[in-house]
A and B are shown apart, each in its own frame.
Chain A
Amino acid sequence: MLYREAGQYKSSYAADMAVFPILQDRIGIAVILLVAFVVFPLAGNDFVLNAVMIPFLIFALAAIGLNLLTGYTGLLSLGTGGFMGVGAYACLKLTTIFPHVDIIVWIVASGFFSAAVGVLFGLPSLRIKGFYLAVATLAAQFFLEWCFIRIPWLYNNSVSGAIEVPLRTLFGIPVTGPTATPVTRYLIVLSIVVVMTWVASNLVHGRIGRMWMSVRDMDLAAELIGIRLLRAKLLAFAVSSFYCGVAGAMMVFLWYGGAEADVFAIDQSFLVLFMVIIGGLGTLIGSFFGAALIYILPIALRAVPAAFDLPIRPAAAEQLTFVIVGALIIVFLVLEPNGLARLWQIGKQKLRVWPFPY
């Protein structure tokens, strides 16, 4: 209905292969970006930015990372938390050793470290498949977790055993550390996420994405058209971990402002995996949906009793959220196993063919 596609014809392959071939979609994206970059910073209060938008974006990025691996290449990983941690600790070390280099450079650069680690633990993926691989990635998760705790050098031997984020400025404006305002941090997170999402969509829409998907859909056939499975899989691990690493670094430096190893515990891995599954495997937009639902839902749930000031112990509320989230996950899987992205597509399709049913 909203879609009026008559007269939108493509006279070049470039245009035909664009990520958003439909005018209305391009407009939509523009509007969203406008809102994200202008409206939120102006209108959004610190709580919204700090407790909702920043984490949402960070998780979305992590979800994209995992989705590249699990959704696009079909390799199930439970090591996300660990890889995120690598990013965070790498970033800490880098900025400690080279304090004068811009922190944002390090946040991004830290991705390379987790990428390296990712490749290392991805090596077995050539021979190991499915759940076996998933468990194998647990090795990464627990080993890394252990490193975060047992190697004091990683957290600069701070007594608390936690990362303490130093103050860093960009053009004199505090970017990280206690004095950095939510708006600045939000804008930085947003910029990084937007750019990296764009890059991800470039990847999955091009040769690399096709390579990954063919490995996912039928690795034998993929090999028979000349794809080298190990390379493809390791590349997926590398890119995926890179994204997770950056997400992890941002999580500590631009959100928490300080963290202990347990931030990157296995629960984090599961959380991100939920986001990917609920959002929709093999879709970037799904990663955002998933992040929104899984992260924002509990916040909302906690807000409910407060709103109606029901006499519920915070602990009980916490536990209740668990119950509800757990139930919702199951319900979602039953209703739409292909995730929110599928629902989105269906809805969009309906609008496109409106008034016809198909």
Chain B
Amino acid sequence: MRAPSSREAALGEVLLAVENVSLSFGGVNALTGVSFDIRKGEIRAIIGPNGAGKTSMLNVVNGFYQPQSGRITFKGQVRTSMRPHAAAEGGIARTFQNLALFRGMTTLDNILAGRALKMRRGFFWQLIRHGPALKEEVEHRRRVEEIIDFLEIAAIRKIPVGRLPYGLQKRVELGRALAMEPDLLLLDEPMAGMNLEEKEDMSRFIIDVNQQYGTTIALIEHDMGVVMDLSDRVVVLDYGRKIADATPGEVKRDKNVIRAYLGEPHGTSV
């Protein structure tokens, strides 16, 4: 009946493989020949100083940017370029560094929107919003309520997200991503601008998501402590190049990494 000493990383087969991907905007290289993989069921951290190309990496993975060269294999299928919604259909969900919520909609609707791909009832049922259409709505509402319960945001269920404090908005955004029941969840600085307590909550949620739903997670995070606690493996980017790829413990000792972090700051946030 004792509490688990530490979470054993259950590393499965490769879910996503990135092979020397390069990306540049009008001459500026955001990424150069980056390769790494994400395995089923792990929590993978992508870290690096500002301008290292972390966010660009995520944007490439979920098809928002098209890399000039390189190969991305997701669930065994190779793809060089794809539209974002295709990524979503493929099972990749995503949260953003500076929130991308639907501000005009309530918490509930935001998360329900995350079910867009799962809801299939045709247009003509939607016109009446009874029978099958309503039945479907109810089913999905139920799933969404489970997520709301999971993220402990029941009290703000019907408040337009625009009016919520930052920390809660982050949670709602996570909720929307979870509603997609993704195989791969990309979190872009999930704890940016949070106070200690909020960070602790968020970490708990991330771990629980990973355990409860077995969701594979790739996250960008600045707070080293958090990275060390959460992640199974860490990729370190600097100037759009991969400078390290190992377990948190090793990365902390890697001198390239240390140099990259102590070295004078450069670049603007990508």
Contact = CB atoms under 8 A, between A and B. Distances in A.
Does A touch B (CB under 8 Å) in the complex? yes
Interface of A: 12-14, 16-17, 199, 202-203, 205-208, 210-211, 213-214, 216-218, 220-229, 235, 282
Contact of B126 (A206, A220, A223): A206
Given A210-B109, A223-B83, A218 B102 contact: yes
11 contacts: A13-B137, A207-B121, A210-B116, A213-B102, A214-B105, A218-B102, A221-B100, A224-B87, A225-B114, A225-B116, A226-B116
B127 A213 contact: no
B255 interface: no
A206 B102 contact: no
A205 B100 contact: no
Contacts of A203: 126-127, 129
A16 B104 CA distance: 20
Contacts of A218: 100-103
Given A213-B105, A224-B85, A226-B89, A207 B127 contact: no
A221 B116 contact: no
Interface in B61-98: 62, 64, 83-85, 87-89, 93-94, 96
A257 to B, nearest CB: 30
Nearest to A215: B102
B64 A224 contact: yes
A205 B103 CA distance: 16
B121 A224 contact: no
Given A203-B127, A223-B83, A224-B88, A210 B180 contact: no
B237 to A, nearest CB: 22
Interface magnitude class on chain B: 35 or more
A202 B105 contact: no
B78 to A, nearest CB: 21
Given A13-B138, A207-B116, A225-B114, A220 B64 contact: yes
A225 B180 contact: yes
Contacts of B101: 217-218, 221
A39 to B, nearest CB: 28
B233 interface: no
B176 interface: yes
B102 A217 contact: yes
Contact of B109 (A13, A16, A213, A220): A213
Contacts of A199: 127-128
B186 to A, nearest CB: 10
Contact of A213 (B64, B96, B104, B126): B104
Contact of A217 (B64, B84, B104): B104
A180 B101 CA distance: 52
Contacts of B25: none
B163 interface: no
B117 interface: yes
Given A210-B105, A218-B102, A227-B85, 12 more contacts: A13-B138, A203-B126, A205-B129, A207-B121, A211-B113, A214-B102, A217-B105, A220-B84, A224-B94, A225-B93, A225-B117, A282-B104
Contacts of B142: 13
Contacts of A216: 104
Contact of A207 (B64, B96, B137): B137
Contact of B116 (A220, A227, A235, A282): A227
Contact of B62 (A13, A208, A214, A224): A224
A225 B129 contact: no
A141 B133 CA distance: 35
Contacts of B126: 202-203, 206-208
Contacts of A214: 102, 105, 113, 116
Contacts of B137: 13, 17, 206-207
A219 to B, nearest CB: 10
